[in-house]
């Protein structure tokens, strides 16, 4: 039991730091560059993301292992996972509109884009590919969500400071954000080899 727990912990650490979705797997970049301009939206977005990611990991694990594998139709995984995620996003959209309209107003357009976001789709696909167990899938979803949140928060804090900096004209906006991301990614390569799974 003890070693099982350690393994889960290792999985979370490796998904969030070593194989960070943004810096080493390059997923979810559209959202990453889109919402990382302000700290407040970045925090709201990362909470939504982590929640949606964990729930979709759980749901798609159940569907994949209890419907797709017994029926031998695993080649439909992309279509099925997209369907699950689209439903989930619609649900979280409605809940957020009722619970916090202010946040909904700010994140509206990106929330609609979550369903076509690679990072959310990648979690179930990787879970299915690696044949993780149910608990492991959840841990992987959580770790990925935390990693994405970390990336967003780092980026948002740098970009808030960058507003005051003088950037050469052609580099204004996105190109500068890319160069910064490159530097952070370089820092994150320091985590590689921390845990070997």
Q: How far is the CB of 189 from another protein (least distance, A)?
A: 6
- Rule CB under 8 A: choose which of 47, 62, 69, 76 binds another protein: 76
Q: Kindly tell me which residue out of 24, 51, 55, 150 binds another protein, with binding defined by CB under 8 A.
A: 24
- Residue among 4, 62, 94, 171 that touches another protein (CB under 8 A): 171
From candidates 38, 40, 99, 182, binder to another protein by CB under 8 A: 182
- Are 17 and 194 contacting, i.e. CB atoms less than 8 angstroms apart? yes
| Measured distance CA(160)–CA(82) in Å, rounded | 34
Give burial (CB, 10 Å; 0-12/13-18/19+) of 135. Answer: middle
Minimum distance between the CB of residue 105 and another protein, rounded to whole angstroms?
A: 21
Contact 122, 25 (CB under 8 A): yes
- Is there binding between residue 134 and another protein (CB under 8 A)? no
Closest approach, Cβ 48 to another protein, in A, equals 17
Task: Using the rule CB under 8 A, give the single segment among 5-13, 66-74, 143-151, 165-173 that binds another protein.
Answer: 165-173
The residues near 182 (Cβ < 8 Å, ≥ 6 apart) are none
Cα atoms in the Cβ-side hemisphere of radius 13 Å centred on 159: 26
CB of 182 to another protein, least distance (A): 3
DSSP class of residue 74?
A: G
Candidate list 62, 91, 99, 183; residue touching another protein; CB under 8 A: 183
Q: Tell me the C-alpha distance between 163 and 63, whole Å.
A: 46
Q: Where in 83-122 is the site for another protein (CB under 8 A)?
A: 83, 86, 113, 115-118, 120-122
Contact indicator for 47, 149 with CB cutoff of 8 Å: yes
Give the count of residues interacting with another protein (CB under 8 A). 45
Of 25, 37, 97, 106, the residue at the interface with another protein (CB under 8 A) is: 25
Structural contact between residues 137 and 58, judged by C-beta atoms closer than 8 angstroms? yes
Our CA dihedral for 146, 151, 154, 155, rounded to 10 degrees, sits at: -150
Interface residue list for another protein (CB under 8 A): 23-30, 33, 75-76, 78-79, 82-83, 86, 113, 115-118, 120-122, 125-126, 129, 168-172, 174-179, 181-183, 185-186, 188-189
């Amino acid at each position: 039991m003890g070693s099982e727990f350690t393994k889960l912990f290792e999985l979370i650490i490796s998904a969030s730091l070593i194989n960070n979705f943004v810096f080493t797997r390059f997923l979810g970049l559209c959202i990453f560059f889109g919402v990382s301009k302000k700290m407040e939206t970045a925090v709201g977005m990362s909470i939504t993301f982590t929640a949606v990611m964990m729930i979709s990991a759980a749901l798609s694990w159940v569907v994949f292992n209890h419907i797709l594998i017994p029926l031998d139709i695993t080649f439909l995984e992309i279509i099925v996972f997209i369907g699950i995620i689209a439903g989930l996003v619609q649900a979280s959209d409605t809940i957020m509109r009722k619970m916090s309209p202010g946040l909904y107003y700010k994140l509206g357009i990106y929330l609609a884009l979550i369903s076509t976001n690679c990072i959310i789709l990648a979690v179930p696909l990787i879970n299915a590919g690696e044949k993780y167990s149910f608990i492991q899938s959840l841990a992987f979803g959580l770790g990925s969500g935390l990693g994405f949140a970390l990336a967003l928060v780092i980026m948002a804090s740098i970009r808030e400071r960058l507003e005051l900096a003088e950037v050469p004209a052609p580099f204004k906006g996105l190109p500068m954000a890319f160069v910064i991301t490159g530097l952070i990614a370089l820092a994150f390569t320091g985590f590689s080899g921390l845990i070997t799974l």
